[in-house]
Structure 1
Amino acid sequence: MRITLIAGARPNFMKIAPIIRSIHNHNQKHQNQITFRLVHTGQHYDDKLSKVFFEELALPAPDVNLGAGSGTQAEQTARIMIEFERDLLQNPTDLVVVVGDVTSTLACTIVAKKLNTKVAHVEGGIRSFDMTMPEEVNRLVTDSLSDYFFTTTDIANQNLKKSGVADERIFFVGNTMIDSLHYSLDKLKAPAIWNTLQLKAKDYYVLTLHRPSNVDDGEKLFTILKTIEQSAGHKPIVFPVHPRTRKNFQSFEAKLPGIKAIDPLSYFEFIYLVRDAVGVITDSGGVQEETTVLGVPCVTLRANTERPETVFTGTNELIGDDYHKLGDALEKIERGNWKKGEIPALWDGKTADRIVQAIATTV
């Protein structure tokens, strides 16, 4: 069987890597071989957001880089579609596997279906029910076109069934992001700033912000950061600054000495920081999952989440734009009064094996 794997943005690499490892393991044990091409759309083109993740997660060099680059949502989508159509025409396949909910996921799904190629969506069925999020549009369009769905939770299964997807097209397999987390735990390394900032385990916070609703308005971003600084019990707040956030943050960085801005980290370095943090403040979907498995308190600066299992089962809490709740949440962490949480079903590091088994025998 021939499959084409699509990766374009940082979260994709972490979800694709375990699938590739599982394909190699399958091919060593079985006669029904699975051959694959890895297509990098180039949606994330900065080495700190792309190349380093290939190296750490032992991903092979992509068979092609479509070189999408930056631009508006429409521009990026159009470039990916044009280049992927050319690639798919030259390299036909039995199945295109897309992951997550980024622009590349949407664009490559549309191209594949217009060329009458089957599509499997890893992380199908997750929903925030917030149409102001570009990712929600990507999810809905991708799921409306996909042939097969590899899901992370029963909540995602139910979302798909409510939209009319037949049971035989849904495979409840778990979470490939957690596969990468398990793979990495014995390979973590302290970033240089561990010594520079003299950090100590459980005596600092990690902060990640990248959503336009939180970072594009400078006044709002300052209010968020000031509230965090005032509520963190004098602990340093380590803030790997996303490129889109850098300009706004620099205008008031000097007024926030407790916020320790650093360049984006590699995956191994970032997880090292998250694992030993007293708590994490984020607006990222993936970080909600990682903190849940690591048992680290997570405060999410969003009114909704496409990963509700991290709230119902895990260590995550949503606080939206309520800065009083933000302060209260951090004070709760400071008092050691945060919920313990549990790990959702099938988030066991073996998801990719279940995906490959399904591809080999059913899809």
Structure 2
Amino acid sequence: MSQIFTVLGARPQFIKAAPVSRAIAEAGMTEVIAHTGQHFDALMSDVFFEELEIPKPAYNLEINSLGHGAMTGRMLEKLEEAMLAEKPDIVLVYGDTNSTVAGALAAAKLHIPVAHIEAGLRSFNRQMPEEINRVVTDHVSALLFCPTQTAVHNLTQEGIVAGVHATGDVMFDTTIAATERAKGRSTILADLAVQPKRYAVATIHRAENTDDPARFARVVAWLEEAARSIPIVMPVHPRTRKLLTQRGAMPTGLKLIDPIGYLDMAWLVNQSAATFTDSGGLQKEAYFHRVPCVTLRDETEWVETVDAGWNRLWTTSDYAPRRDIPDYGDGRSAITIAEILKAAI
């Protein structure tokens, strides 16, 4: 039976993997999952496997809390060992994290074809480690699953045309299913004592915002100013909470909560009036829920959301005229990807 070796490590990857893993199984293929441990907190890892019914990982590498070089190097070493043991037909990676590039490099050096879900995204800011991870992964991949036509164009500009497929966005698949489940199960609004469409959701976790004290202070000040107009609920990444604690004074107007499960987060965003984030995934999820977003970065790889008027950078004050984005597909992207994988093996 055909075997796919999947590398996961961070919250957005768990979300993307849910419909794909299901489609892989339904297509009659075997999947072996390796969890690098990049996100290791139960609230940012275990709960996603449970709520989204992702198969249990065969490998738990528990590699985290290290610098980029050390983390990527250890992942590369351990993933290579696992791939040598499993001898998969294809290695599947998601997104743009250290786990992504480590999985892609380990497979490429072993001459195992790499399939990259969310290929072709570019912020064109090489100061972002995620941008380096995207570019390197795409250039060693044999199958490149693009969520948008812009992503296809970006690859063409870099000379990558073989194995490129416009499949739509698997996160849309997940959002549709999760929102329907959350509608009848989530009690998050009652738990937080907030009213539908009368609050905003915020998250901060990107290194470009958290590693620079001056920039972090600017982001927090921006959120405090926004909170003067609308209450803000902010699930706090562990690294961000540490920085806020070191700051000495907690932000005013923000309801800080621990990270929450995907179903609760889906419903919290769905019922919000706005989303403020530096997360690539949450920018799209906001659009899927038709909630306007402000991206707390100076650029975004999801340019479609800006062009379509559902997203804007915090450095601008106005949204473009609002319209739908057909590129993201019809909620069957995972099935398309599984069919292409099966045909390639």
> 1:103-118 alignment to 2 at 5 Å?
103-118=98-113
Tell me the CA shift for residue 213 of structure 1: 2.6
Tell me the CA shift for residue 108 of structure 1: 1.0
| TM-score (normalizing by structure 2) | 0.93
Q: Which shows bigger deviation, 265-274 or 242-251?
A: 242-251
Measured in 2, the distance between the counterparts of 1:196 and 1:162 equals 48
Tell me the CA shift for residue 247 of structure 1: 2.0
Measured in 2, the distance between the counterparts of 1:158 and 1:95 equals 25
How many residues are treated as equivalent by the alignment? 342
**C-alpha contact (below 8 Å) 1:314/1:344 kept by paired residues:** no
Instruction: Determine which of 158, 171, 176 is the counterpart of 1:182.
Output: 176
Deviations 1:53-74 (A, max 9, x none): 0001101111111221220011
**C-alpha contact (below 8 Å) 2:308/2:321 kept by paired residues:** no
**C-alpha contact (below 8 Å) 2:244/2:250 kept by paired residues:** no
Identity of aligned residues (%): 39
Gaps in structure 1 of 5+ consecutive residues = 28-33, 330-336
**C-alpha contact (below 8 Å) 2:63/2:71 kept by paired residues:** yes
| TM-score (normalizing by structure 1) | 0.89
Measured in 2, the distance between the counterparts of 1:9 and 1:64 equals 15
**C-alpha contact (below 8 Å) 1:210/1:245 kept by paired residues:** yes
Whichever residue aligns with residue 66 of structure 1, its letter is L
**C-alpha contact (below 8 Å) 1:292/1:314 kept by paired residues:** no
Instruction: Determine which of 35, 44, 52 is the counterpart of 1:40.
Output: 35
Measured in 1, the distance between the counterparts of 2:247 and 2:91 equals 45
Instruction: Determine which of 330, 342, 347 is the counterpart of 2:324.
Output: 342
Whose radius of gyration is greater, 1 or 2? 1
Whichever residue aligns with residue 7 of structure 1, its letter is L
Question: Relative to 1, partners in 2 of residues 1:318 and 1:92: Cα closer, same or farther, differing over 3 Å?
Answer: same
Paired residue secondary structure (2:234): strand
Measured in 1, the distance between the counterparts of 2:105 and 2:215 equals 36
Measured in 2, the distance between the counterparts of 1:141 and 1:217 equals 25
- 2:74 match: 79
- 2:233 match: 238
> 1:49-88 alignment to 2 at 5 Å?
49-88=44-83
Tell me the CA shift for residue 208 of structure 1: 0.5
Whichever residue aligns with residue 64 of structure 2, its letter is G
Tell me the CA shift for residue 255 of structure 1: 5.6
- 2:27 match: 26
Question: Relative to 1, partners in 2 of residues 1:298 and 1:243: Cα closer, same or farther, differing over 3 Å?
Answer: same
- 1:30 match: none
Paired residue secondary structure (2:32): strand
Gaps in structure 2 of 5+ consecutive residues = none
Measured in 2, the distance between the counterparts of 1:10 and 1:255 equals 25
Give me the CA root mean square deviation: 1.9
**C-alpha contact (below 8 Å) 2:20/2:334 kept by paired residues:** yes
